[in-house]
Structure 1
Amino acid sequence: MSPSSSRQKIYGLIMAITSAALWGLSGTCAQFLFEQKGFDPERLVCWRLLAAGVILVTFSSTKKNNDTLRIWKKKTDALNLLLFGILGMVAVQYTYFYSISLSNAATATVLQYIGPLLVVAFYAIKYRRWPILAEYASLALALIGTFLLVTHGSFDQLVISEAALFWGLLSALALAFYTIQPVGLLRKFDPATVTGWGMLVGGLVFAFFGKPLDVEGIWDLEAWIAFSYIILFGSVISFYFFLKSVTLIGPSTASLLCSVEPLAAAGVAVVWLGVYFGPMDWLGTLFILTTIVLLALGTRKKKEGKESQIHLPG
């Protein structure tokens, strides 16, 4: 490996890890706005989608050979984009933020990362194949990890509310749909174009329900900093870093490194917001994150010609 290619790989690894950390911190910023500034999940999701969508679509239009408008020319592509924006982007953002409002950023982020296991289950059913050993192990670890995270090992009670568990698992299901549904679009169009339009369409539709003009909460300097972080660093810059890392180290490695996101969310929530995350919580988190590693390694071994498929995080 030449010094330049080795240097590019290091840059790619740093960018992938940084993007995951930025995404994780955005969840903690959302928790801060909900708990201490009186923000509403519906409005925050709406603002995030609209602002980040406009920025990403604009960014996409400046790229050479951009396909910003071409994505709307065919009815099938336009329909898939609408479905992605409404049922994918809105669902994954709202369920995740609402789950945070009911529990905390650490728990909500870890629960959402059960989503990749649901993706594996979907393709196993679709292609009528038995799961491989790594996938069976991932299922067992995910179940144990979730049990420890929500009960601390007790069969008698939950340590989070039933609503928080429900919305956390729903966010995992939404993440699975969000990962599977736009695959066809991602094979034809730039990821920034797909994600930007998905956010913008989702934000416009959700605006009818989220009432973005009914401003609530305490809009002081701290709130503006947290809100701006969610839009710029937690959406636009993190997404750009992730896409850049994909070109340097490949989508499989970049997606695997995104498992840093729950650790970042948990660590910052504990240090900044004083969220209690005990030994059972960390153990459950470790089990769930191990499923991501096993699934990534199993997928890499199969190499079914899907290296060009990019998972869209965030």
Structure 2
Amino acid sequence: MHTCSARSSLGLPLALVSAFAFGGSGVAAKPLIEAGLSPLQVVWVRMAGSALVLLPVTVRHRGLLRRQPWLLLGFGLLGVTLVQVSYFFAISRVPVAIAMLLEYLGPSLLLAYVRFVQRRPITRAAALGALTATLGLALVVEVWTGLGGLDPVGVLFGLGAACAQVGYFVISEKAGRSAVANPAERIDPVALSGFGLLIGALVVTPLAQPWTLPWHVLGGEAAMGSRHVPALALALWMVLVSTVVAYLCGVASVSRLSAPVASVIAFLEAVVATLLSWFLLGEHLSTPQLLGGGLVLVGAFVAQTSRKVETTTVVASGAEPVPGPAPADEARGETTDETTDETAGETAGEAASH
């Protein structure tokens, strides 16, 4: 009993560290982009560096390549590559907080996919959550002023990241269902992250052309608001803290917290990103945008946690898919105990992702 309590108490700080680490990815990446690296090159540095650190894990679980090749490929393309590429292109054109809030429309878009593509029913609460998030989006982009001066291309990339998350959610659901039906098929979440990052790095390599990367930029300094910091320090933070530490702490926290608690804490990532970009990058949001951001988060949370009639689909949150709760057994419309939910959640969550 004492051991169980100790594990639960450790889960909260681990989840907080994960949310803080993930929330700082955009704040570290944007100065590198402004210093001379392209968004694709920054994505490559992050994925290749993280994949290298996690390589021992992927080698240990190399059997996944034989057992689940298509799931790994889909996860690497949608859950990692498209989400990160879209998000980093977005932050190169719009404030970090707005790019992340745009991506938080993912749960609402997933509900639309479930309702209109899969033709599965959703609850009124879930629909209300999606509507609330959409209203929040209107405030964030200040539609009454013509996007409030925001770069339309940046907004589109942010929405693209949200769409890419839908693909991640669907893949996570399939992984979770497989784990519930056959426990032997459970995928280690850290290994899934490692393979996703490795696949993403390989896919982005011909586009980012790292052999043309201006490596001298990493040897210099980058402007972070009114300060100048070593660019290499930002790159290392992005790789080691905002990716590796974020994933490892996220996975560890899910195994110690209940799914609902871990889900709520995951939403702190957007708050962390907003505060860090405000204080470190000087990206101030207007009052309507802050109000809209709150509505987006509330709506996304309701859309994520509301049960659908007869069935519940897998939904995760975050600017990049995170190793969060995703009760895959509920995706089959079954009712099981909390322990099963948490185990399935570890499998279906990213091993990320945002």
Identify the residue that residue 43 of structure 2 maps to in structure 1: 45
Within-5 A mapping of 1:59-70:
59-61=57-59, 68-70=61-63
Report the alpha carbon displacement of residue 148 of structure 1 after superposing the two structures with TM: 0.5
Q: 2:282 aligns with which of 274, 281, 300?
A: 274
Distance (whole Å) between structure 2 residues aligned to residue 11 and residue 129 of structure 1: 38
Report the alpha carbon displacement of residue 277 of structure 1 after superposing the two structures with TM: 1.1
Counterpart of 1:218, as a letter, is: V
Gaps of 5+ in 2: 180-184, 222-229, 313-326, 331-340
Identify the residue that residue 116 of structure 1 maps to in structure 2: 107
Report the alpha carbon displacement of residue 60 of structure 1 after superposing the two structures with TM: 4.9
- What's the CA shift string for 1:4-43, capped at 9, x where partnerless? 43332232122112211111111111112122x2221111
Q: 1:81 aligns with which of 56, 72, 77?
A: 72
Contact 1:31–1:104 (8 Å) recurs in 2: no
**Other structure's SS at 2:5 match:** helix
Residues 1:193 and 2:191 are matched in the alignment:
yes
Contact 1:252–1:296 (8 Å) recurs in 2: no
Residues 1:33 and 2:11 are matched in the alignment:
no
Gaps of 5+ in 1: none
Within-5 A mapping of 1:113-152:
113-125=104-116, 128-151=119-142
Identify the residue that residue 324 of structure 2 maps to in structure 1: none
Greater length-normalized contact order (CA 8 Å, ≥ 6 residues apart): 1
- What's the CA shift string for 1:76-114, capped at 9, x where partnerless? x21221222234321111000000001121111111111
Report the alpha carbon displacement of residue 223 of structure 1 after superposing the two structures with TM: 0.4
Contact 1:270–1:276 (8 Å) recurs in 2: yes
Q: CA RMSD in A?
A: 2.3
Distance (whole Å) between structure 2 residues aligned to residue 178 and residue 115 of structure 1: 10
More displaced 10-residue stretch of structure 1: 154-163 or 200-209? 154-163
Report the alpha carbon displacement of residue 184 of structure 1 after superposing the two structures with TM: 3.2
Identify the residue that residue 217 of structure 2 maps to in structure 1: 218
Distance (whole Å) between structure 2 residues aligned to residue 242 and residue 256 of structure 1: 13
Identify the residue that residue 72 of structure 1 maps to in structure 2: 65
Counterpart of 2:237, as a letter, is: Y
Aligned residues: 304
Identify the residue that residue 205 of structure 1 maps to in structure 2: 203
**Other structure's SS at 2:24 match:** helix
Contact 1:145–1:285 (8 Å) recurs in 2: yes
Q: 2:305 aligns with which of 285, 294, 297?
A: 297
Identify the residue that residue 14 of structure 1 maps to in structure 2: 13
Distance (whole Å) between structure 1 residues aligned to residue 175 and residue 202 of structure 2: 20
Distance (whole Å) between structure 2 residues aligned to residue 292 and residue 87 of structure 1: 20
TM-score (norm 1): 0.89
Report the alpha carbon displacement of residue 125 of structure 1 after superposing the two structures with TM: 4.2
Identify the residue that residue 162 of structure 1 maps to in structure 2: 152
Distance (whole Å) between structure 2 residues aligned to residue 162 and residue 29 of structure 1: 23
TM-score (norm 2): 0.79
Identify the residue that residue 349 of structure 2 maps to in structure 1: 311
Q: 1:237 aligns with which of 242, 245, 248?
A: 245
